Amino acid sequence: MKTQCNAIRLFCLGCLFLVMGCGCLKYDFERKKNEHENPAIVGLLPDLSVPEHFSWDGVYITIPLSAIDDLNKINIDIPALKYNKKFAYTYTFDDCVVQAYGKAFCTINGMWVDDERFFHFGQERTTGKEPVNTLGYTDGCGNEKRFAFGVAIWPCKDNGYVTDLMAPSNRNAGNRYPYLIWSDVVPLLDYGSDIYFHNVDENIYDKTDPHSLVDGLRVCQNKAIEKIGRGIKTLARADGNNNYYKAGLEFEDVVIMTASNSVEENVPPLIVNLGDGDLDLYKKCLFRRYTEEFPDVMQLMPDLEVAHGELYSWYHDFSHGPENFQYILDLFKEINDRYGKDGDDSVWFASLDEIYEYVDIRQNCEITKTTSGDSLKLKFKCSTPELADRYQYHRDFSLMLSGVDGSSVKIGSGKNVYGLSYAKTKDGRFLVNINCNASLLERAERYTGKYEKAKTPESKEEALFFINQLKPELRGTFLARCK
């Protein structure tokens, strides 16, 4: 009997070890599977940093003197809106919602839109579709620009179940995971969207104390730089808490903010017109409309129609990731069809970051005219004293030139100009778009490299999208690799 009991004990103990072992194996498998599917965990994210210091020495264009009748009649203006547009529009997604990638971004860029509510970069497809058309506008010179937006993210937030929402090492970021992870953020930034400050970890930092929130924002900043090399300079006020607004005023890295109602007693957020020649956006808090209160495109459009009717107006909408997300996609399509490339092409659909940087350049740009040999040289120096170079991701601007004759004139550029487009407009002037972002080269290289590995039509289309943003003389090597 005793021997039988010992045998039973040994059998039970063996089963216990087997169960424990299987549990460990299961945990290890899940963890490794998660690491495979989540590039943020294994360090596969690209470095999206920009140089600490930028030199304007190589930022210039040259125009043949043969195309100029009278140098004294050359006039140069930086238009109120980039690409000489008439209406600016911004959309922001709060609370780090993954629909910003899986629904909005993929719809805008004509990529696979899965029927799953939560869809991450690289996630296995189920059922869905690819949109027939992309959503965007042109640069005024025949080149498509895609709609870009802002996302208020949570770089260091813990919800009690997941210790790091954007790098969830203890949970697989699949079709039940509602938050952006860092690998979702990369394509958003590559295509021109931006990330904003929002909630800090309020389990650690006191949401009633602006000074404590500044400490939390600084930790979030460091986490973003650690993960993708890129910092944040915009704050979307979180939860209607004006202590975040006060923290944004105090934190040196924040240059612009946004809110949907008063940030101080009887002090509403601002509505501005970008045509104001003395416009100063530094540390300003701008109004935004909450679209989830009117989740229907025909309810949302009347206010946009009014704004569109005012020259150089700027309108800003925002939402979270509502279950009825389709109305947001319908809104984007309506804007494209009325004011974008498939309409009157009057809209500049851009993030707070991009518009802030353009206004900053416009207000601070010095232009020098000299002649050298058979060319007129226009040199630009657009230093922005309140915005550090390392936080400038949209260093590109537009010019309107009068006094230049001929539609076939060839405009040259300096070594720190990476993208250049120009065209004669209906009023006889030339629109010139100058892009000084070295990131254009980095993205062309990275996406060309992806094509060389994948050799799929989709990867080729992406590579060509970035290659074609470069000025013609920089495209050759990349185009040869895409044959």
- Residue 295 sits in a domain whose CATH number is 3.20.20.370
**H helix intervals, 105-170:** 106-108
Q: Classify residue 307: in a domain, yes or no.
A: yes
Same domain, yes or no, for 227 and 370?
no
The residue whose two tokens read 């089963």 is 15
Count of CB atoms within 10 A of residue 150's CB? Answer: 27
Same domain, yes or no, for 191 and 311?
yes
Kindly state the helix (H) or strand (E) to which residue 339 belongs, with its residue range: helix 326-339
Q: Classify residue 138: in a domain, yes or no.
A: yes
Task: Classify residue 238 as exposed, middle or buried by CB count within 10 Å of its CB (0-12, 13-18, 19+).
Answer: buried
Same domain, yes or no, for 397 and 278?
no
Same domain, yes or no, for 286 and 394?
no
Q: How many residues does the chain have?
A: 483
* Crossing angle for the helix pair 297-308 and 326-339, to the nearest 10 degrees: 30
Same domain, yes or no, for 66 and 140?
no
Q: Which of 357, 386, 404 is the last residue of a domain?
A: 357
Phi and psi torsions of 477, nearest 5°: -60, -40
Q: Classify residue 40: in a domain, yes or no.
A: no
The residue whose two tokens read 């005023």 is 249
Q: Mention every residue, 6+ apart, whose C-beta is less than 8 A from residue 174.
A: 37, 118, 120, 123
Distance between CA 258 and CA 237 in Å, rounded?
A: 6
> What are the strands, taking DSSP E only, across 12-129?
60-64, 75-77, 87-93, 113-114, 128-129
Q: What is the pLDDT along the chain (483 residues), one digit of tens a residue?
A: 444 444 444 444 444 333 333 333 222 323 333 333 444 344 489 999 999 999 999 999 999 999 998 999 999 999 999 999 999 999 999 999 999 999 999 999 999 999 999 999 999 999 999 999 999 999 999 999 999 999 999 999 988 888 899 999 867 789 999 999 999 999 999 999 999 999 999 999 999 999 999 999 999 999 999 999 999 999 999 999 999 999 999 999 999 999 999 999 889 999 999 999 899 999 999 999 999 999 999 999 999 999 999 999 999 999 999 999 999 999 999 999 999 999 999 999 999 999 999 999 999 999 999 998 999 999 999 988 899 999 999 999 999 999 998 768 999 999 999 999 999 999 999 999 999 999 999 999 999 999 999 999 999 999 999 999 999 999 999 999 998
Kindly state the helix (H) or strand (E) to which residue 221 belongs, with its residue range: helix 210-228
Q: Classify residue 10: in a domain, yes or no.
A: no
Count of CB atoms within 10 A of residue 213's CB? Answer: 27
pLDDT at residue 372, as a whole number: 86
pTM for this prediction: 0.91
Same domain, yes or no, for 190 and 65?
no
pLDDT at residue 163, as a whole number: 86
Same domain, yes or no, for 277 and 421?
no
Tens-place pLDDT, residues 80-129? 999 999 999 999 999 999 999 999 999 999 999 999 999 999 999 999 99
Tens-place pLDDT, residues 6-40? 444 444 444 433 333 333 322 232 333 333 344 43
pLDDT at residue 5, as a whole number: 43
Distance of CA 393 to the CA centre of its chain: 9
Tens-place pLDDT, residues 205-220? 999 999 999 999 999 9
Tens-place pLDDT, residues 367-386? 999 998 999 999 999 988 89
pLDDT at residue 161, as a whole number: 85
Apex 341 CA angle, 340 and 345, nearest 5: 60
Distance between CA 246 and CA 295 in Å, rounded?
A: 31
Q: Classify residue 17: in a domain, yes or no.
A: no
Q: Classify residue 24: in a domain, yes or no.
A: no
SS3 138: strand
Q: Classify residue 477: in a domain, yes or no.
A: yes
Same domain, yes or no, for 306 and 251?
yes
The whole domain housing 397 covers 60-78+365-437
Q: Which of 324, 341, 357 is the last residue of a domain?
A: 357
Same domain, yes or no, for 133 and 273?
yes
Do the bridges between strand 75-77 and strand 289-290 make them parallel or antiparallel, or are there none, so unpaired? Answer: unpaired
Same domain, yes or no, for 276 and 370?
no
Domain count, the chain: 3
Handedness of CA 334, 187, 139, 234 (dihedral sign): positive
Q: Classify residue 38: in a domain, yes or no.
A: no
Task: Classify residue 264 as exposed, middle or buried by CB count within 10 Å of its CB (0-12, 13-18, 19+).
Answer: exposed
